[in-house]
Amino acid sequence: MTLTKTEKLIRALENGKNYTAEQIARKTGLVNVSSTVDRLRQEGYVIYSNRKGTTGNKVQTYRMA
């Protein structure tokens, strides 16, 4: 059975680790990670996002509760 890109995202986040949008894109093939995360949130998934990094080099990370 082939997983959809969204299903791959859910599986990646289910382990509770933090992933950057770039890591998710490489892992799943998604182009617009933030819009997919927003849609999943609307469907009831609890996905946290954090901004980490130094000034001028902020990176968005995502994880699932």
**Per-residue pLDDT tens listing for the chain (65 residues):** 688 999 999 999 998 899 999 999 999 999 999 999 999 999 999 999 988 776 677 788 999 98
pLDDT of residue 58: 79
37 CB burial (10 A radius; 0-12, 13-18, 19+)? buried
Q: Can you tell me the distance from the alpha carbon of 51 to that of 28, in angstroms, rounded to the nearest whole number?
A: 21
Prediction pTM value: 0.83
CATH number, domain of 18, equals 1.10.10.10
Q: What is the structure's pLDDT at 8?
A: 93
Distance between CA atoms of residues 54 and 33, nearest Å: 22
The total domain count for the chain is 1
Residue-range definition of the domain harbouring residue 11: 5-64
